[in-house]
Structure 1
Amino acid sequence: MVRGKCLSPEKEKGRQKTQGGFRPCLCTLPSLLGGALADELQLPENYADEQQVQDWLGSFRGRRARLDPRCCRISQPVSETAWFAAGMDLGDFEQDNTGSCRLSSPVPELCRTEDCCLGIDEAGRGPVLGPMVYGICFCPLSKLGDLEALKVADSKTLSEAERERLFGKLDQARDFVGWALDILSPNLISTSMQRRTKYNLNSLSHDTAMALVQLALDQGVRVTQVFVDTVGPADKYQQKLQERFPEVEVTVRPKADSLFPVVSAASICAKVARDHIVKRWKFLEDLGDLKMDYGSGYPNDPKTKEWLAQCLDPVFGFPQFVRFSWSTAQLILDGRAVPVRWEDSEEEAGGTPAAGRGSGTPSLLSYFARREAPTERQSHRFFHERGLETVANL
């Protein structure tokens, strides 16, 4: 994958030869793009000089440039996940997709000097596949009208192309719009939910959202209002956030991503990031010739269920792309994977007693248990043969 830079040829018929090969006349750009694509990308009608074209291409650096290679010059290589936005490089998460990763845009200077509102939303809460991405977006209260003018909307109501186009607009508006993301891997989600101390998805979501608000405050953003798409009961969540951030006015609502533009913007940022992560997921496991046609990733999707069954290893389970704590995955594990009996597990009703619980076999944990009374140490035969004993006091 390369980043392309369009060159400005002189206005003459045909092409002008350069060091990089041939470059087209600007008047041929629409034909090279194709009519439908040119319409989709809103190619400007008047593109008489190089600067106009550079500005236009720059405004769409959040999209894959499906340009004919003849009108591009190879400049610098970029990763598969980094091409779509200069400020959203997913390379770090791509290198290690087993934990979490945080990304953020530069903070506009205006957000440090004026009161701001901040929206919170997530993408990928329900799927059994892929990460969950939490996003915030913030802008000055004085610029809310400009944000609304971008016509942001709930990401779930938009097509992928529309989301990327709107993210491109948000990226263009970086003089008054900022954002940040927390990417939580499937492995992190599952291990968190199945640890000994109960930590459910709602708690994980709440903590992630609060951490992002704190990040904005630590970066100097003057946050005075926070709007949140609820997770769980809205009133309890709002009270929790208000107690954590008493100086901020908090509003938690169901469907907030369709009610407040700043939440819609956060939703778009999170969804765009998740879409690209899922498409370019780097599997650590060798899946052989398994096709990556896993459907929507939601538990009730037949394609997703079929793919889960095909990628299951009977001993090692699922690849880390799968949230193994989801009930859909658990059912497949229970039915198709090799059963494992833990020696110190509870005795199953009507079954064979587990080790250490009436079976006569000591539990594995019994070897590490702290003994209540110290074991009496047997003296060496030298002392025994000579009738010598250890005394505590004289």
Structure 2
Amino acid sequence: MDTAVDDPQQQEAEDVTLEEAPLSSVFVPPSINEPALLAGDSYSYFSPVPASLLPPPGSPLDSAAMGPPCALGVDEAGRGPVLGPMVYGVFYLPIDQSDPLLRDNAAHRFDDSKALTPAVRAALVRALCTPSTDLHDSCGWAITALSARDIGAGMLRPGTTGAYNLNAQAMDATVELIRQVYARGVNVREIYVDTIGQPAAYQAKLERIFPTARVTVAKKADSLYPCVSAASVCAKVTRDVALETLWRARGKTGGQIMERGGDKDRGLKEVEEGEKAEEECMAWGSGYPSDGRCVAWLRGNMHPLFGWGPECRFSWGTAKDMLEASPAKGGGVKVDWPADEDTDTHRLTDFFVSGTQEKDVDELGTWFGTPTGLEAF
């Protein structure tokens, strides 16, 4: 969970792994909402809560009977990329099963998602989603995918409310995910959250919001706590397949090289270099600004007026610099918006009734046309 650093690109060198995204033909998790992704909308997915984690059947809502005490982990994937969503994941299971089921089990050993190959991550989530497996029967998970469009719109939000920065968006997504798990009847007693920045203030805030749980916010929690490792894997698999879903709809067919003066040859060359391995992976690569394929795709597919589609985070420096460059260097068209006039006092009725109209004008005659006097007869 990234909370102290609001510029995600400062953390990119530490976080990014320029691996090939897994093909969606391997496994598409149920957390993929293709219509929402293509529309640029944020969304959430919650797995069914295993019956073993719920209160006994027939227990009233205000009953003291509860399900087994559970540990819940939180982690994210895709904070730094300029393309695609940022995905927050939560994963929960009985406290006493955390290590035996997630770390000591030879069949499925979770770890920080960056330490696992795409194939291993996909296999773990597939097992989690397969009925009658020990993971499916004992664990639950959920994700929130914050779309690139909504991230950028929040960070660039004008007006008196000011920017809705990435840290605030991440915090709100995390809190809502945990609240929804509680609302589904899960007895969450321990919460573990991964953070890059200083954890103390963030932990104190979560303790105020969830006073019945023991909260632990720590750096590298995805390597220390199994439930955070599992949340990391769920978020990463969702993010990878979401990026490929966007690529198939946007990147593969979403525009040709724009002719922009002196930038045309450079764009063509970079796109050609970035597409050498296109048969094996997406031509826009991982979506990180440090990935040459990503930068080449952005430069070669930028509309001079509209930029890109909702797959792009317009608030990122990579995108802003390209759009704000001069046209001679392949930049976008400069648009000057007229300033708002505070003295504007127009009323809706001003557009329908003339201010010089006489009060005694025949209403019916005016409605149908020019009033006709008696002299006409």
Spell out, residue by residue over 1:174-213, the C-alpha distance to the aligned partner (whole angstroms, 9 max, x if none). Answer: 1111000111111011111111222100110011001000
Report deviation, 1:364.
Answer: 4.2
Give the alignment partner of residue 246 of structure 1, picking from 211, 215, 234.
211
Q: Which residue of 1 is the match for residue 338 of structure 2? A: 343
Question: What is the DSSP-based 3-state SS (H/G/I as helix, E as strand, rest coil) of the residue aligned with 1:175?
Answer: helix
Matches of 2:28 and 2:357, distance apart in 1: 76
Mark the CA change 1:97 to 1:82 in structure 2 (over 3 Å): closer, same or farther: farther
2:149 pairs with 1:182: no
Structure showing greater radius of gyration is: 1
Change (3 A) 1:97 1:84: same
Aligned twin of 1:23: none
Alignment partner of 2:178 out of 200, 206, 213: 213
Q: How many residues align?
A: 280
Encode CA deviations 1:266-305: one digit per residue, 9 max, x unaligned: 0001111111111121329841478651232112223222
1:105 equivalent in alignment to 2:105 = no
2:89 maps to 135
In structure 1, the residue corresponding to 2:250 is in which secondary structure?
coil
For residue 314 of structure 1, the aligned residue among 304, 319, 327 is: 304
2:317 to 320, 323, 327: 327
State the secondary structure of the residue aligned to 1:251: strand
Change (3 A) 1:288 1:116: same
Alpha-carbon offset, residue 232 of structure 1: 3.6
Residues 132 and 328 of structure 1, relative CA distance in 2, 3 Å threshold: same
User: Cα deviations across residues 325-376 of structure 1 (Å, max 9, x unaligned)?
Assistant: 00111111110011122232xxxxxxxxxxxxxxxxxx54542599xxxxxx
Match of residue 170 from structure 1: 128
- Cα displacement (A) at 1:379: 9.2
Q: What residue in structure 1 maps to residue 366 of structure 2?
A: none
Asked whether the equivalents of residues 195 and 217 of structure 2 are also in contact (C-alpha less than 8 Å), the reply is yes
CA distance 1:323–1:240, shift in 2 (3 Å):
same
TM-score by length of 1: 0.65
Check the 8 A contact 2:154/2:164 in 1, yes or no.
yes
Question: Could you say what secondary structure the match of 2:338 adopts?
Answer: coil
Match of 2:116 in 1: 158
Cα gap change, 1:379 to 1:146, in 2 (>3 Å): closer
The 2-side partners of 1:309 and 1:366 are apart by 42
Judging changes above 3 Å, is the alpha-carbon distance between structure 1 residues 286 and 364 closer, same or farther for their aligned structure 2 residues?
farther
Higher RCO (CA < 8 A, seq sep 6+): 2
Structure-2 change in CA distance of 1:307 and 1:140 (3 Å): same
What SS does the corresponding residue of 1:280 show, helix, strand or coil? helix
Q: Secondary structure at the match of 2:145?
A: strand
1:367 aligns to what? 344
* CA displacement 1:152-177 (0-9 Å, x = unmatched): 00001111111112222333311111
List alignment gaps of at least 5 residues for structure 1.
1-62, 65-79, 345-362, 371-377, 384-394
- The residue number in structure 2 matching 1:235 is 200
Looking at structure 2, the residues matched to 317 and 108 of structure 1 have their Cα atoms a distance apart, in angstroms, of 45
- 1-side partners of 2:187 and 2:359: how far apart? 80
Deviation at 1:142, TM superposition (A): 2.1
Amino acid corresponding to residue 98 of structure 1 in structure 2: G
Matched, 1:84 2:84: no
Q: 1:235, CA displacement in angstroms?
A: 0.8
Letter in 2 for 1:182: T
1:255: Cα distance to partner? Answer: 1.0
1:120 corresponding residue in structure 2: 74
Amino acid at match of 1:279: E
Local SS of the residue matching 1:168: helix
Asked whether the equivalents of residues 104 and 179 of structure 1 are also in contact (C-alpha less than 8 Å), the reply is yes
Task: Give the direction of change, closer, same or farther, for the CA distance of 1:199–1:205 in structure 2 (3 Å limit).
Answer: same
The one-letter code sitting in structure 1 at the alignment partner of 2:315 is: S
Would the alpha carbon gap of residues 263 and 342 (structure 1) be closer, same or farther in structure 2, given more than 3 Å must change? same
Matches within 5 A, 1:371-382: none
Match in the other structure for 1:256: 221
Counterpart in the other structure of 1:147 = 102
Report Cα offsets for 1:24-47 as digits up to 9, x if no partner. Answer: xxxxxxxxxxxxxxxxxxxxxxxx
State the SS of the aligned residue for 1:243: helix
Conservation of the 8 A alpha-carbon contact between 2:70 and 2:189:
yes
Query: Taking every aligned residue pair, what percent have the same amino acid on both sides?
Result: 37
| C-alpha spacing 1:225/1:342, structure 2 compared with 1 (3 Å) | same
In the TM superposition, residue 81 of structure 1 has moved relative to its aligned partner by 7.8
Match of 2:286 in 1: 296
Give me the whole-angstrom Cα distance separating, in 2, the residues matched to 1:283 and 1:294.
11
Distance (whole Å) between structure 2 residues aligned to residue 381 and residue 265 of structure 1: 76
**Aligned equivalents of 2:231, 2:180: Cα separation in 1:** 15
Structure 2: give runs of 5+ residues left out of the alignment. Answer: 1-21, 55-66, 258-270, 276-281, 326-330, 348-354, 361-377
- Residue aligning to 1:355: none
Q: d(CA) in 2 for partners of 1:191 and 1:257?
A: 29
**Deviation of residue 380 (structure 1)?**
8.6
Give 1:24's aligned residue: none
**Mean alpha-carbon deviation: is it higher for 187-196 or for 169-178?**
169-178
| 2:88 match: secondary structure | strand
The one-letter amino acid of 2:250's match is F
Paired letter, 1:294? W
